Chain A
Amino acid sequence: MSPRTLYDKLWDRHVVRDNGDGTALLYIDRHLIHEVTSPQAFEGLRLANRQPWSVGANLATPDHNVPTTDRSHGITDPVSRLQVDTLDQNCQTYHITEFAMADPRQGIVHVIGPEQGATLPGMTVVCGDSHTSTHGAFGALAFGIGTSEVEHVLATQTLGQQKSKSMLISVDGKAPAGVTAKDIVLAVIGRIGTAGGTGYAIEFGGEAIRDLSMEGRMTLCNMAIEAGARAGMVAVDDKTIDYVKGRPFAPQGALWEQAVADWQDLHSDADAVFDKVVHLDATTLQPQVTWGTSPEMVVGVNQTVPTPESFPEPVRQEGARAALKYMGLEGGMPICEIKLDKIFIGSCTNSRIEDLRAAAAVVKGHKVAGNITLAMVVPGSGLVKQQAEAEGLDKIFLEAGFEWREPGCSMCLAMNADRLEPGERCASTSNRNFEGRQGQGGRTHLVSPAMAAAAAIAGHFVDIRELSS
């Protein structure tokens, strides 16, 4: 057989029917469900009198709409409440496993899939949510789908797909201290642009990627979609297998041995050919901060906000001008002089235990600066929250003046009560800095958890490498 990429292998493993024209019917191993994109899909099933094809392949949890404050009185917003109640009812009707709002295992779908071992190497994983790319960290083919596709997967356990082109992003050398997975992926997006990955499935490789923990690889693949690619992935290695081992949905005993043997093949062959290869030197990277309204508008923390004139193309100059106006910034201003109003540590990009540990390590023994009106930590799941509390991280955050919340999407998209007011400026560990994303008129700067924590203490951006030395 000719050498194949990881993407080729994942694709080949799942072809139910090859249409011979670059499209195929692919089998879907795991379907994750949340409350926003599923109600019409379930209704479609009902109207057509269909049943889910494979009930056990589905796993559901409410995350976008759930409150992150005291939940004992339920959800006050009627629209949010109806969506969450509808998910509960649909899961009950069709016997789909759901971690409902009161369940300690509830959380952001992209956090709980891996946490439960419901995401396994070699799987196809889909969800009605673009950040499904996260699960590619496990050597899985994972991508977001729309509501009619959600219904299609429920009813048939398959999806018709067009094969993408393949891209290798190799991040070579060792990343310096203070440079995290978030900084790497922001730098990648800064380099290739938000459309750079359009039409491609991206595999991340190179020494700096191999060095990342599984949490870091999830952060990386999570933002493949911000680089324009529906799927991002990392080859399976010992770290992948160690992470999965013993999780509730992971195979046990003899099946585990069999699975591990099967997963050894989940990497690109040495001489596999990619449609495109991009190299990035990890050794020169700095912690990253976005300055504009697109994730590609990003610079190193020691740099200055660019001037519109510094871009060669007129279109990008215009884009930069509009972004600076919206963000209330001037070109030439040092990043470290940008003052903040709010701090958000959370989202499916950076709300796992490792993220909270990194933030707590910076916060410990300090107080949130006076100009910060709200600093919040929203763990990615109930289990992450429990683990953090067992390690005393909640105390560190609370003592410093952070709020310690219940798990959910929260201020990543401001669908619940957590949001920015017009003009407010936020250091956020989430993935999108679009206009209005965190609240109408809100200004978002994307950063790593440690950078967000440091900004909370200082009241403005600081280079975390200076703190640790």
Chain B
Amino acid sequence: MEKFETLTVIVAPLDRSNVDTDAIIPKQFLKSIKRTGFGPNLFDEWRYLDHGEPGKDNSQRPLNPDFVLNQPRYQGAQILLARENFGCGSSREHAPWALLDYGFRVIIAPSYADIFYNNCFKNGILPIVLDAETVDRLFRAVEAQEGYQLTVDLEQQQIRTPDGEVIPFEIDAYRKQRLLEGLDDIGLTLQHADEIRAYEEQQQRQRPWLFDQ
């Protein structure tokens, strides 16, 4: 997992509540054997005017000009500003895979569905919870000013706006550490690699047949 470093980037506003995982990545793309490559089909039904299928050349498909991610001013966005209950629906890990593959590293919303929220951390995405009023204010600011950028500083647990406002946010200390160090579950376990090896050596002596293959 990539380490989470402070970023100052463009924000894309997705002004809908209850965005579900099927909207984030429609079910026909779940048959894939990969966890990358979902980016072009992120929000597929909103982003394109035709029906998406795996294997279709997405660069040839008609774009929906009204959809926010298709507007020139939001190209290169890495922060997604969203409304309440973002990521509801199924437990599919394909949803954070698609957001990450598109380029999003941060989501800001008043609330998230539980499993989605957990899955974000597993994949190096920082989901920030802010109160609905602040989120609303950010929506207005983003829409008012083209090229609007926010700075997200995880270490300090702060969002900084272009005009110098500092918005603090809460995050569980354990998760924060994992994101900062770029540690997924596997990375964390591998911090105990010496203990795993010591166990193996002891087993090798006591139960050698388990290693005789």
B209 touches A251 (CB 8 A): yes
Contact mask for chain B residues 189-211; partner A; CB cutoff 8 A; 1 contact, 0 none: 11011011001100100111111
Question: How far does the alpha carbon of A212 sit from the alpha carbon of B208 in the complex, in Å?
Answer: 30
Question: How far does the alpha carbon of A82 sit from the alpha carbon of B54 in the complex, in Å?
Answer: 13
Binds B, one of A106-114, A255-263, A298-306: A255-263
With A29-B210, A83-B33 in contact, do A155 and B186 touch (Cβ < 8 Å)? yes
A404 an interface residue at 8 Å Cβ cutoff? no
Question: How far does the alpha carbon of A345 sit from the alpha carbon of B34 in the complex, in Å?
Answer: 34
CB distance from A206 to the nearest CB of B (A): 29
B136 an interface residue at 8 Å Cβ cutoff? no
A129 an interface residue at 8 Å Cβ cutoff? no
Contact partner, B122, options A56, A148, A258, Cβ 8 Å: A148
For B, the interface residue count at a CB cutoff of 8 angstroms equals 28
CB distance from B102 to the nearest CB of A (A): 16
A17 touches B186 (CB 8 A): no
A43 touches B36 (CB 8 A): yes
Question: How far does the alpha carbon of A148 sit from the alpha carbon of B12 in the complex, in Å?
Answer: 30
B35 an interface residue at 8 Å Cβ cutoff? yes
CB distance from B199 to the nearest CB of A (A): 5
Binds B, one of A44-52, A67-75, A320-328: A44-52
Question: How far does the alpha carbon of A441 sit from the alpha carbon of B93 in the complex, in Å?
Answer: 29
A-chain residues with CB within 8 Å of residue B200 when the two chains form the complex? 27, 157
Main secondary structure of the interface of B (DSSP, over half): helix
Smallest Cβ-Cβ distance to A79: which chain B residue: B31
With A43-B36, A50-B186 in contact, do A255 and B208 touch (Cβ < 8 Å)? yes
Question: How far does the alpha carbon of A351 sit from the alpha carbon of B166 in the complex, in Å?
Answer: 65
A-chain residues with CB within 8 Å of residue B189 when the two chains form the complex? 25, 152, 155-156, 158, 160
For A, the interface residue count at a CB cutoff of 8 angstroms equals 38
Smallest Cβ-Cβ distance to A156: which chain B residue: B189
A16 an interface residue at 8 Å Cβ cutoff? yes
A-chain residues with CB within 8 Å of residue B207 when the two chains form the complex? 122, 258-259, 262
**3 tightest CB-CB pairs across the interface, nearest first?**
A39-B33, A251-B209, A255-B209
Q: 24 A-B pairs, CB-CB below 8 angstroms?
A: A16-B196, A25-B192, A27-B203, A39-B34, A43-B33, A48-B1, A48-B184, A53-B196, A56-B211, A57-B213, A82-B33, A86-B33, A152-B189, A155-B189, A156-B186, A156-B189, A156-B193, A158-B189, A160-B185, A255-B208, A255-B209, A255-B212, A256-B209, A258-B207
What residues of chain A have their CB less than 8 Å away from a CB belonging to chain B?
Answer: 16-17, 25, 27, 29, 39-40, 43-44, 47-48, 50, 53, 56-57, 79, 82-83, 86, 120, 122-123, 147-148, 151-152, 155-158, 160, 249, 251, 255-256, 258-259, 262
